[in-house]
Amino acid sequence: MPKAVLYDEMTAGEERGRVGGPIGAQAYCQPLVPGTARYIVVRISGVQADLSGSNRNSVPAAPVAWAGNVFLRLQQLRSYPRNWDSYGGKALTTAAYLSANSLLGRLMFESIPQPSIVPTGRGGVQFEWHRKGSHIEVYFSPDGNSEVSFEDDFGGEWEGPLDELAYRLVAVLKNL
């Protein structure tokens, strides 16, 4: 369990692994479970206008509390051994991991309930929400492509590439 989530912004254009470290980190939340030391840093990077221009309000204030748990779960899936499910299951691929992390980064600043994280066994993963008669699944394939599907108890349904439907997905999740 994460002890705390640290939240900082990197200089625009700075690339992890090649140049310097975090700038101006600040504690975000109190330990969820005291005693187990796990810190997660949230880094935000982007074009200069995004970070310091007049549209700065596009950078949100604080991530939701469950973000750390989902992140740790993805980390865990990525380090699974081969045949982890005794059916030849594979660890989460790098492409699926990065895609899932990308969506997590987008959702974690919204008022949205925690998804269930379900590995597919073939190197992909699914985010799932089943609440209030709505069933939403986002599937990340091993090659990093992502599809979203929605169904509700009133017969409503739609599906398609996450790239095209991310805005609609967020709107639905906010109402769960």
Partner 1 sequence: MSVQLPQFHKPPVNEVILSCQFEPLTSMRAVHMGTFWAGVRDRYPRTEEHPPVEPIIERFGSPKLQRPEVRLELVDQIKVPRVWMLDSTGRQLLQIQPDRLIQNWRQVDGVGEYPRYPFVKEQFEQSYAAFQQMVTSEDLGEITFNQCEVTYINHILPCDVWKDHSQIGAVFAFWNPGFSEIPLPLQESAALTTRTVLKDELGQSFGRLHLSIQSVFRLPDEQPMFLLSLTVRGAPQGEGLPAVLSYFDLGREWIVRTFATITTARMHAVWERYA
Asked if 112 contacts 65 with a C-beta cutoff of 8 angstroms, the reply is no
| C-alpha of 113 from chain center | 12
Helix H or strand E encompassing 106: helix 94-107
Binder of partner 1 out of 43, 122, 135, 168 (CB under 8 A): 43
Nearest partner of 125 among 92, 158, 150, judged by Cα: 92
Per the CB < 8 A criterion, the answer to whether 152 and 136 are in contact is no
Minimal distance in Å, beta carbon 130 to partner 1? 25
Residues in a beta bridge with 119: 125
Minimum distance from CB of 150 to partner 1 (Å)? Answer: 19
Tell me the closest approach of the beta carbon of residue 104 to partner 1, in angstroms. Answer: 7
**DSSP 3-state of 164:** helix
Question: Using CB under 8 A, which of 28, 73, 77, 97 touches partner 1?
Answer: 97
- What does the block give as tokens for 38? 């796990």
Q: Is 158 in the site for partner 1 (CB under 8 A)?
A: no
Minimum CB distance to partner 1 smaller for 106 or for 135: 106
Q: Does the footprint of partner 1 cover residue 51 (CB under 8 A)?
A: yes
Q: Which is nearer to partner 1, 31 or 144 (CB)?
A: 144
In the block, which residue shows the tokens 């492509």? Answer: 145
**What is the contact surface with partner 1 in residues (CB under 8 A)?**
6, 16-18, 37-47, 50-51, 58-59, 67-68, 71-72, 75, 78-82, 91, 93-95, 97-99, 101-102, 104-106, 108-109, 143-144, 161, 163-164
